[in-house]
Amino acid sequence: MATGAVGKLAAVAIAGFALTGCGDASPDRAASERGTRIVDETTAEFGGIRLGSTSEQIRRRFGSPLKSPDGASTPPGVDYYEVGGPTSVQPPPTLTARARSGGSVRYRDTAWLVEGGRSYGVMTVAPDARTRAGVQISDAAERVMDSYPGARCRTANEGTEYATFPLCEAQPRPGVHLYFGGDPIKSIWLVITGDAAYRRLQRG
């Protein structure tokens, strides 16, 4: 759909990610207050919700979300360039074709990326969040390389007009991507791309 830093969440638009947005008075009952903080790359789940779940399922699990201005993919008050994240992600074409409701479902320290009414990604800045392999917020970025064969770390946006930041990426399963922003790590992102990965999740 789009590459680089653009302003639409459907392409995980990075310039738009810098929007911090203002939350409303809705109670935040996200995973940080109701259970596990594991970003599970083996099952593509976070807080008991698997990627591919509907926006309504996310709301039933975590409660009323906070406001989400167009382009925002991080929790309210969280600057994308400060915590880092993927510079471009393509949602599964199946979801893009539906084009009913893109955007994000945001809570205090977690944001779900949504396209066509279903989630294809989740990011968190929760201080106790960690992946199934044990990489957690505040770890040194080199831990990603030690934990995921084939992972790579780089300086995102280098040579562009956009702010740079450390970024590591791993692909633990076909179509399943992990991103770690910052060094030490400040954000963890779990994203699915491609229809094949999406169909596997739907089959359970």
Question: Which candidate, 183, 192, 150, 168, places its Cα nearest to that of 53?
Answer: 192
Angstrom distances, CA of residue 129 to CA of 67, 90, 191, 201:
23, 24, 16, 22
Structural domain count of the chain? 1
147: containing domain: 9-203
Q: Tell me, yes or no, whether 90 lies in a domain.
A: yes
Residues 6+ away with beta carbon under 8 Å from 71? 7, 8, 9, 13, 15, 16, 17, 19
Report the C-alpha gap between 143 and 15 in whole angstroms. Answer: 28
d(CA 76, CA 43) in angstroms, rounded, equals: 27
Does a structural domain hold residue 60? yes
In a domain, 99, yes or no: yes
Among 166, 193, 165, which residue's Cα sits nearest to residue 177? 193
Backbone angle region of 94, left / alpha / beta, with phi > 0 → left and psi within -120 to 50 → alpha = alpha
Q: What is the pLDDT of residue 186?
A: 98
Per the domain annotation, does 4 fall within a domain? no
As a whole number of Å, the CA-based R_g of the chain is 15
Report yes or no on 92 lying in a domain.
yes
**CA-to-CA separations, 166 to 35, 50, 57, 142, 187, in angstroms, rounded:** 29, 27, 33, 11, 11
Say whether 143 sits in a helix, a strand or coil: helix
Per-residue pLDDT of the chain (204 residues), as tens digits, is 333 332 334 444 443 344 333 333 333 334 444 445 899 999 999 999 999 999 999 999 999 999 877 667 899 999 999 999 999 988 898 888 765 556 889 999 999 999 988 999 999 999 999 999 999 999 999 999 999 999 999 999 999 999 999 999 999 999 999 999 999 999 999 999 988 888 888 786
Residue 3 domain-assigned (yes or no): no
181 in any annotated domain: yes
Residue pair 194/175 in contact (Cβ under 8 Å)? The answer is yes
Whether 1 maps to a domain, the answer reads: no
